[in-house]
Amino acid sequence: MSQVLHFIEKLWEIYVKRFHLNNAILSFGIIILAWIMDIVLALYACPLCILTRYVFGTFGFFSLIAAFNDSFKNLQNIFIFGSLFFGVGVTSRQIYIQNLSSEGLTNLSGCGMPLETTIEFYGFFGGIYRTLQGGPSCAEEGWRFIFNFAEWGLIFFLIFIFVNLLNVFKALKKV
């Protein structure tokens, strides 16, 4: 047991040395993995899945900025946590839609078009709003390994929130 704890401590030390860069690499890795799985497994991602990938990309982008820029740490943390909490909201909404009854699904009308087309047609905020309303295509589970894509996304967003909170508290402890 002590060897496992020692291994975890060493992993954490390595991760913390380039914390934001590692966050960016992991979030971009999640996007690349989802894209590869779409191709290999012939999956069709719904608009909420695509929106989740964009949120991972936004988190990765802000983490990349934080990795190479030490100024405006508070603003960087606001953007990082904002993207993470928005990601929790998007994935939670998709999990909620996936657990609706068939009657509840018929009342949803948000995901009729691809995300890019929805944003083009309704404008940015209107398209995001329509996408978050969800639809029957967002309820499909095309792939499952213990959890489905939305559940894995929620788990990763929560892990990123937890790890980033640890990093913020560690920085506050030094001050």
One DSSP character per residue, 46-112 reads: -HHHHHHHHHHHHHHHHHHHHHH--S-HHHHHHHHHHHHHHHHHHHHHHHHHHTS-HHHHHT--S-S
Q: What is the pLDDT of residue 25?
A: 92
Give the number of other CB atoms < 10 A from CB of residue 99. 9
Per-residue pLDDT tens digits of the chain, which is 175 residues long:
788 888 888 877 777 778 888 899 999 999 999 899 888 888 778 888 889 999 999 999 999 999 888 888 889 999 999 999 999 999 999 888 888 777 776 677 767 778 888 888 888 898 888 888 877 777 677 776 788 888 899 999 999 999 999 888 887 777 6
124: left (phi over 0), alpha (psi -120 to 50) or beta: alpha
Structure tokens at 46: 């719904």
Of 171, 161, 104, residue with least CA distance to 134: 104
> How far apart (Å, rounded) are the C-alpha atoms in residues 38 and 42?
5
Q: What is the pLDDT of residue 69?
A: 86
Neighbour count for residue 163 (Cβ, 10 Å): 17
CA–CA separation, 142 vs 67, rounded Å? Answer: 35
User: SS3 of 1, please?
Assistant: coil
Instruction: Provide the residue ranges of all domains of the chain, joining segments of one domain with +.
Output: 2-174
Neighbours of 161 (CB within 10 A): 16
Query: In sequence order, which residues have a C-beta less than 8 Å from that of residue 124 and are 6 or more positions away?
Result: none
The pTM assigned to this predicted structure is 0.85
Instruction: State both tokens at 50.
Output: 């695509």
